[in-house]
């Protein structure tokens, strides 16, 4: 497969869309990013990485980190996480509170904010330092020791974090959060603030294309768990747009409000695309279009 040629063709095809949508403004530190940025990378199973545009430029990973924390929690505690969080699409915005009371403080899935807070809480219980565990994992799997938290973004999220605080306190009232809420929120905000490039994320996500095997050949997840994470990405990874994303792209994917999206072709490769302009559901406009073009041009899809 000529990944480099495909990426260059995609970059030309989506150029008119770059700058469409709006960067996330509810986290003020994210609002300043140049909406005209676009990058895309593909990593194959051997760790070769191909890219186009701003594929080596760091951006705020945000909710893409939710995939990695879920994988780490499954690796530590196996199925026990599913006692605390479901795996059904929510059909609601990623920061919605509305289902939590009806469903007794058990969030619908690990990729909406409520579910990710539960998963980070589990990781905190397993490791004692959830955000550092995640950062070390991303550094190791991307091969980039420079990856770091962004203190300004984490601070901005904390300052404007009333909704996440409400979600965490509400779930704590149902006994579904084990750690003190302020400490949990800190780990969650640091987690979201990690700066990574498309190349870093495509490389770090390779265990999902390698059926659970890490870069050094050791096993993070069982084959079955890797399948499960990919399945939850497909059904829940782009929130209330997951149906449309599956229809257009046909791959497991996870977006973040920094404008990044990671996608997986199991057994073949991983992708990451970044462009900060978001649609009304919080997914990158040019990013979704680029992934749509990728599966159309290559025929690589799970369907
Ligand atoms: O908690 C938040 O709202 C952000 N730190 C992450 C949200 C996010 O990336 C959702 N993605 N589309």
pLDDT tens track for 183-192? 999 999 999 9
Give the chain's domains with CATH numbers: 3-298 (3.40.710.10)
Six-digit token string for 223: 């084959």
Determine whether 239 is an active site residue: yes
Query: Distance between CA 281 and CA 278 in Å, rounded?
Result: 8
Determine whether 285 is an active site residue: no
Q: How many CA atoms lie within 13 A of 210 on its CB side?
A: 22
Instruction: State yes or no: pLDDT of 74 exceeds 90.
Output: yes
Q: Which 3 state secondary structure label does DSSP give 65?
A: helix
**R_g (Cα) of the chain, nearest Å:** 17
Q: Hey, which bits of 45-186 come out as E strands?
A: 49-53, 59-60
CA of 265 to the centre of ligand 1 (A): 24
Q: Would you say the pTM of this structure is higher than 0.95?
A: yes
Residue 93: which pLDDT band, with cuts at 50, 70 and 90?
A: confident
From 95, 187, 276, 281, the mutation candidate for ligand 1 (largest count of ligand atoms within 8 A of CB) is 95
Determine whether 247 is an active site residue: no
- The answer to whether 138 touches 196, Cβ cutoff 8 Å, is yes
Which pLDDT does position 126 carry in this prediction? 97
Which pLDDT does position 52 carry in this prediction? 98
Query: Distance between CA 29 and CA 163 in Å, rounded?
Result: 17
Which of the following is catalytic: 119, 158, 193, 239?
Answer: 239
Determine whether 188 is an active site residue: yes
Strands 59-60 and 253-255 turn out to be: unpaired
- The answer to whether 84 touches 40, Cβ cutoff 8 Å, is no
Ligand 1 nearest-atom number relative to CA 282: 12
From 242, 257, 258, 261, the mutation candidate for ligand 1 (largest count of ligand atoms within 8 A of CB) is 257
Nearest CA to ligand 1 atom 11: 256
Whether 259 is in the pocket of ligand 1, judged by its Cβ within 6 Å, is no
Q: Which of 129, 102, 130 is nearest to 116 (CA)?
A: 130
| Average of per-residue pLDDT across 268-295 | 97
> For the chain, what is the mean pLDDT?
97
Residue 69 CB neighbours (<10 A): 25
Largest CA distance in the chain: 53
Six-digit token string for 8: 């260059």
Whether 157 is in the pocket of ligand 1, judged by its Cβ within 6 Å, is yes
Determine whether 50 is an active site residue: no
Residue 239: which pLDDT band, with cuts at 50, 70 and 90?
A: confident
**Interhelix angle 130-142/113-127, nearest 10 degrees:** 90
Which of the following is catalytic: 14, 42, 50, 66?
Answer: 66
């Amino acid at each position: 497969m000529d990944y480099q040629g495909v990426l260059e063709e995609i970059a030309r095809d989506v150029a008119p869309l770059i700058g469409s949508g709006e960067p996330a403004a509810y986290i003020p530190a994210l609002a300043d990013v140049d909406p005209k940025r676009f990058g895309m990378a593909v990593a194959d199973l051997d760790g070769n990485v191909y890219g186009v545009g701003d594929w080596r430029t760091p951006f705020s990973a945000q909710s893409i980190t939710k995939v990695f924390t879920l994988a780490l929690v499954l690796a530590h505690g196996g199925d026990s996480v599913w006692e605390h969080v479901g795996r059904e699409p929510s059909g609601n915005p990623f920061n919605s509170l509305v289902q939590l009371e009806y469903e007794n403080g058990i969030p619908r899935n690990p990729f909406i904010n409520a579910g990710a807070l539960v998963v980070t809480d589990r990781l905190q219980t397993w490791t004692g330092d959830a955000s550092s565990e995640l950062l070390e994992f991303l550094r190791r799997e991307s091969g980039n020791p420079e990856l770091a938290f962004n203190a300004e973004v984490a601070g901005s999220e904390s300052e404007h974090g009333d909704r996440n605080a409400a979600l965490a306190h509400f779930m704590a009232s149902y006994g579904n959060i084990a750690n003190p809420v302020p400490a949990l929120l800190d780990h969650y905000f640091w987690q979201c603030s990690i700066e990574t490039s498309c190349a870093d994320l495509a490389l770090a996500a390779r265990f999902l294309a390698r059926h659970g095997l890490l870069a050094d050949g050791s096993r993070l997840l069982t084959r079955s768990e890797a399948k499960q994470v990919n399945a939850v990405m497909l059904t829940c990874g782009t929130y209330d747009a997951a149906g449309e994303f599956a229809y257009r792209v046909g791959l497991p994917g996870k977006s973040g409000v920094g404008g990044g999206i990671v996608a997986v072709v199991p057994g073949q490769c991983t992708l990451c695309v970044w462009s900060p302009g978001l649609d009304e559901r919080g997914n990158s406009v040019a990013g979704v279009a680029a992934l749509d073009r990728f599966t159309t041009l290559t025929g690589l899809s799970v369907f």
